[in-house]
């Protein structure tokens, strides 16, 4: 029993730190306004453009010579329309005149500004070819477009589709930090089914069970004397 007490004490001390982190991180995530976290105040939905007569497949094919087209669709962009073409090598964009569109820094900034609803200006546009936590899970390459507003807003524009796929602010970054602490995924910040959190959760359950066990065996008859006395008094009152 002494060994169990020692294990319970030291394991509880170590895992208690994580319990505190869970409590603090959960509280902080609950306190942060979810509209602010989502950055809803930083973007607006682009206005719908007029319907146009679609190009025939041959015209779209002519804009991408040599490409094997799997499918394509017409969608709005910047007040007009573009063709989003799915090829065997990925997604390409073709303009309404049948010419291919290259998503460079200028186009990425234009797309970001068209959906930006804040009062800042574009401060930079950087092409990303390596994964980033702020746009985790998004296909690369991406354009990171930063605005110089008070929230340090960042839009991520997909190079393949010229669409804004993520918008981040400092509020989201604070929330994401506490999310990392909460799920204990310190690298990807995505999974809460990894071995570390399962091990810690199992350890905490063990601490709880051993705590109840140690509490139970520590009781003596004198600890329950007040209950016995109360029962005896109640029985006497009933007899009267």
pLDDT tens digits along 194-227: 999 999 999 999 999 988 888 777 766 665 566 5
Rounded to two decimals, the pTM is 0.82
Residue 77 inside a domain? The answer is: yes
49 and 80 Cβ atoms separated by less than 8 Å: yes
What does the buried/exposed string (b/e) look like for 98-108 if buried means 16 or more CB atoms within 10 Å of the residue's CB?
A: beeeebeeebb
pLDDT band of 51, cuts 50, 70, 90: low
Residue 173 inside a domain? The answer is: no
User: 186 and 159, same structural domain?
Assistant: no
User: 113 and 48, same structural domain?
Assistant: yes
User: 163 and 46, same structural domain?
Assistant: yes
User: 12 and 106, same structural domain?
Assistant: no
Of the candidates 156, 169, 161, the residue with the CA atom closest to the CA atom of residue 126 = 156
Residue 176 inside a domain? The answer is: no
How many whole angstroms separate alpha carbon 82 and alpha carbon 104? 16
Residue 94 inside a domain? The answer is: yes
Number of folded domains that form the chain: 2
213: CB partners within 8 A, 6+ apart: 4
Phi (first) and psi of residue 188, to 5 degrees: -90, -25
Full domain range(s) for residue 187: 2-33+182-239
Specify which of 37-46, 126-135, 191-200, 223-232 reaches the highest per-range mean pLDDT.
Answer: 126-135
Residue-level pLDDT at 2: 77
């Amino acid at each position: 029993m002494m060994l169990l007490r020692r294990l319970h004490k030291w394991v509880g001390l170590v895992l208690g730190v994580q319990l505190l982190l869970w409590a603090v991180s959960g509280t902080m995530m609950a306190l942060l306004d979810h509209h602010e976290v989502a950055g809803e105040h930083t973007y607006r939905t682009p206005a719908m453009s007029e319907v146009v007569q679609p190009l025939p497949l041959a015209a779209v094919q002519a804009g991408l010579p040599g490409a094997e087209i799997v499918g394509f669709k017409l969608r709005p962009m910047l007040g007009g329309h573009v063709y989003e073409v799915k090829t065997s090598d990925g997604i390409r964009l073709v303009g309404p005149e049948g010419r291919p569109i290259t998503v460079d820094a200028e186009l990425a900034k234009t797309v970001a500004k068209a959906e930006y609803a804040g009062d800042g200006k574009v401060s930079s546009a950087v092409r990303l070819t390596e994964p980033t936590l702020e746009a985790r899970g998004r296909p690369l390459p991406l354009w990171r477009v930063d605005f110089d507003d008070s929230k340090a807003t960042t839009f991520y524009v997909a190079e393949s589709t010229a669409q804004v796929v993520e918008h981040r602010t400092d509020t989201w970054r604070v929330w994401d930090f506490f999310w990392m602490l909460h799920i204990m995924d310190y690298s990807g910040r995505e999974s809460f089914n990894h071995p570390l959190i399962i091990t810690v959760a199992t350890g905490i359950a063990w601490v709880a069970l051993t705590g109840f066990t140690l509490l139970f065996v520590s009781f003596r008859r004198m600890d329950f004397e007040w209950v016995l006395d109360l029962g005896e008094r109640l029985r006497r009152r009933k007899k009267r």
